[in-house]
Amino acid sequence: MSEQSSVVKYKWALIFLLGLFILIASFIASLSIGAYAIPFSDVVKLLFSPDEGKAASIIHTIRLPRALVGIIVGACLAIAGGIMQAITNNPLASPQVFGVNAGASLMVVAGVVLFPGLGSSTLVYFAFLGAAVGGAIVYSLSSTGGGMTPVKLALAGITVHLFLSSLIEGIVLFHETSTEDVLFWLAGGIDGRNWADVQLMIPWSLTGLIGALFLGKGLTILGLGDDVARGLGQKIGWIRASSAILVILLAGISVAVAGPIGFIGLIIPNIVRKLMGSDYRLILPVSAVFGAALLTISDVLSRFISFPAESPVGIVTALLGAPFFLYLASRGGRTA
């Protein structure tokens, strides 16, 4: 048993370090690539020893906060997806499929249009409310008639997503002020994010990330089934309620700042679980690293879509995630 445990820890450390390496490389690329190209060697130098030049100003005022927002959002969405898949025992569960992103988006758009004077710190609470309502509707619909299945979840999620999206389009259509900014945000983008956004995200995301790590053991035991979990002394209701709150925090803050970026929470937990097994004490931190890396890479790729103009990163994540979603759905939610 001890030898097997050592092998698992070694494998976890290796995969975690690989993800960290990819994240660091993509982070440097994010600071380097753009309409104003900065050599990789200069990026590292200016990052730690900034001067008064144009390149240093671009890195520290534009690209660095943007990259940090991407890292935080990617980590939050990946962990939120992992938690949702754990508590529902459904590989198709994710903030987008579960209607969490759409619900949060609807409330944020409604807040922006109906109350133009609201600041970002207030709109976050609109996102939390919308995330909770959207997730609750999909959960209720997919759990009726014999319990939740991957196909029922997919159908309920798509239906609710389309319905909420139509409401968003109606609000935007009848209130044309700031339509361009709203539409860009709705596509999921981190372009233009600044240090205020980073400061807004840190307390909420840290709360969610730390809380998720504390729930890792309970989520792992929950995967054995409710009866087994109760027999091992786990409080099933408390775990699910706490998990739901964490998902609302993680997905809500991500949508409030970066818009409804999809599929990160679907792709990453499934891949990491395939590599790591079913221990969520290992799955969640590894998912955070790979989720941050995937969103950062996607942001870099999005800059080439209409270079030198910016494109929403949500376009790239949709191109990557849609085939993966269809693959999972065709296999009834099985990854193997």
Residues in Cβ contact with 40 at an 8 Å cutoff, skipping those fewer than 6 apart:
28, 29, 32
pLDDT tens-digit readout, 182-230: 777 787 888 888 999 999 999 999 999 999 999 999 999 988 777 888 8
pLDDT tens-digit readout, 32-44: 998 888 888 888 8
Q: Which of 17-26, 47-56, 100-109, 119-128 has the lowest mean pLDDT?
A: 47-56
Q: Given a cut of 60, is residue 336 above it in pLDDT?
A: no
Q: Given a cut of 80, is residue 271 above it in pLDDT?
A: yes
Higher pLDDT, 246 or 173: 246
pLDDT tens-digit readout, 275-305: 888 889 999 999 999 999 999 999 999 998 8
Predicted local confidence at residue 262, as pLDDT: 85
pLDDT tens-digit readout, 103-149: 999 999 888 888 877 788 888 999 999 999 998 998 888 877 666 67
Mean pLDDT of the chain: 86
Predicted local confidence at residue 129, as pLDDT: 94
pLDDT band at 5 (very low <50, low <70, confident <90, very high): low
Q: Which of 137-141, 143-147, 240-244, 252-256 has the lowest mean pLDDT?
A: 143-147
The residue-averaged pLDDT of 8-26 equals 90
Higher pLDDT, 329 or 1: 329
Higher pLDDT, 236 or 283: 283
Q: How much of the chain, in percent, has pLDDT values that exceed 70?
A: 93
Q: How far apart are CA 81 and CA 265, in angstroms?
A: 4
Q: How much of the chain, in percent, has pLDDT values that exceed 90?
A: 43
Indicate left, alpha or beta for 259 from its phi (over 0: left) and psi (-120 to 50: alpha). Answer: left
pLDDT band at 174 (very low <50, low <70, confident <90, very high): confident
Predicted local confidence at residue 1, as pLDDT: 47
Q: Given a cut of 80, is residue 61 above it in pLDDT?
A: yes
Q: Which of 266, 268, 250 is nearest to 258 (CA)?
A: 250
pLDDT band at 20 (very low <50, low <70, confident <90, very high): very high
